[in-house]
Amino acid sequence: MQMQQVEIPMITISKEDYLKAIAEAEAEGNPVISATLAHWLAVTRPAVTAAVKRLTKDGMVVVKNDGQIQLTSRGRQVAERTIFRHHLIERMLAEIFGMPWYEVHEEAERLEHAVSPAFEKKLVEKLGDKDTCPHGNSLALRSPAERRKKGLRLLSEAEAGVPYRIASLYERDRKLLDFFEREGIRPGTRLTVQTRNYDGTVSLVVEGKNIRLGVPAAEKIWVMKS
Ligand SMILES: [Zn+2]
Ligand SMILES: [Zn+2]
């Protein structure tokens, strides 16, 4: 029997999503105010206000006088747990089920909330403790500053004529990932910047193929000298 495909309404944004978004936005060096979260989670400002009120009552966040939202140690624990589970689910989908790297993020966004401590333990046993997810993003290196310290740089800042390897890609934009995949841009891909063009684009040779990338896309890719 074949299941009929029906459109299922989007799952509501959970408290865990808010806490994770705060931790991630913080790691990227953004001051976290309600507008940051509204943008990050694609929800309305009143929705953020209501959620932050609940999280404050639960002792998960504090809101400073200037509007900055900060995690309490309990809030941070939940955020870190959710980030870790997201990472495990992405790896499970890619490494065990062979799901393509550009598809695993959204699936993990849904499944991460359903992982029990016992299942998490099983996943760790099965997958081992590799630090990078299928997008090349590392649990240890979250902020741009930490990445730069390890020798990574954004493709938009890469030197011309030097061979690089893609270390990681921004994973929260599915359309962008589909585009990257079509162009052969994925973790591990080798490339060289040929020229930086007057219109702001960069001309690249990606595995022998010439392509041009605009700055908004080039800023979503971390590379390493290879
Ligand atoms: Zn992800
Ligand atoms: Zn990932």
Model confidence over 201-217: pLDDT tens digits?
A: 999 999 889 999 999 99
For residue 133, the one-letter residue type is C
Structure token digits, residue 85: 């589970």
Q: What is the DSSP letter of 132?
A: B
How many C-beta atoms surround the C-beta of residue 42 within 10 A?
9
Which chain residues have CB less than 5 Å from ligand 2, an ion?
Answer: 90, 133, 135, 137, 171
DSSP 143: S
Please report which confidence band the pLDDT of residue 22 belongs to, taking 50, 70 and 90 as the band edges.
very high
CA of 106 to the centre of ligand 1 (A): 7
Q: From the CA of 138, which ligand is nearest?
A: 2
CB 102 within 8 A of CB 174: yes
Q: Over the stretch 141-197, which tens digit does the pLDDT of each residue have?
A: 889 999 999 999 999 999 999 999 999 999 999 999 999 999 999 999 999 999 988
Q: Decide if 106 contacts 134 (C-beta within 8 A).
A: no
Ligand nearest to the CA of 106: 1
CA of 62 to the centre of ligand 2 (A): 28
pTM above 0.85, yes or no: yes
Dist. CA 121 → ligand 2 center (Å): 19
Residue 221, strand partner residues: 169
Taking the C-alpha atoms of residue 77 and residue 80, their distance in angstroms, rounded to an integer, is: 5
**Does the structure show a pLDDT above 90 at 4?**
no
Exposure on the CB side of residue 85, measured as CA atoms within 13 A: 24
Closest ligand by atom to 137 CA: 2
Separation of CA 198 and ligand 2 centre (Å): 33
Radius of gyration, CA atoms only, the chain: 19
